[in-house]
Amino acid sequence: MNKKTEISGASAYPSNRLGQRERKVLQVSDQYEPINPDNWTTQPEDMDDAIDILAEAVKVVKGLTVVYDFSIQGGAVGNLPLGVSLPDNAIIVEVVRDETTSATSAGGTGTILLSVPTEGALEQSPLTANGGAPSVANSGGSALPKKLAAVRELQVTIATEAVTAGKVHYFIRYYVGE
């Protein structure tokens, strides 16, 4: 049933009358045209793309999850790329580290630190690969917030000695600045 028929038909049935406020809502809703996807500057491929485009327009906080897994990336001392990038002008406001498999190193002094090339560490303090119980840590503090000057691939920096086991999930919250 269309809105005009419902409004005119409502008066014929006293128990089913629309109030003045409901009539006004229906009249106002008739004044707006549905969104036309042809008006989008970038046509979204699916619902996720549409949400990303809208989020970009209103500058909402975004999230990203990346995993360092010894069985995939290895544990050699140095920078190990994680295959996930943050966009240009990303303003990182929070990093939460979830160690799901205890990180270990031969002497218990190896460290794992989430970082990006050029801008450096995204954590206040590194995770020590000492084989202790898995932990969750908010890695904010003095390392954040941090604004990236270009697209940057996330990496872990392993220092002191090689890591021999471990799996760490990183949850990153950021805005995209101008």
Q: What is the separation, in whole angstroms, between the first and last Cα of the chain?
A: 47
Range of the domain at 88: 60-176
| pTM score | 0.67
Any idea of the CA torsion for 42, 47, 52, 56, to the nearest 10 degrees? 60
Q: Which of 33, 57, 81 is the last residue of a domain?
A: 57
Residues 73 and 50 in one domain: no
Q: Based on the domain organization, do 155 and 72 belong to the same domain?
A: yes
The number of domains in the chain is 2
Burial of 172 (0-12, 13-18, 19+ CB in 10 A): buried
Which of 57, 76, 100 marks a domain boundary? Answer: 57
Average pLDDT along the chain: 80
Residues 65 and 51 in one domain: no
Residues 64, 138, single domain; the answer is yes
Residues 90 and 168 in one domain: yes
Digit-coded pLDDT (tens) for 40-61: 566 777 887 777 777 666 667 8
Q: Which residues make Cβ contacts (< 8 Å) with residue 122, sequence separation at least 6? A: 92, 95, 114, 115, 116, 139, 143, 144, 146, 154, 172
- Examine the domain organization and report whether 93 and 161 are in the same domain: yes
CA 165 to chain centre: 27
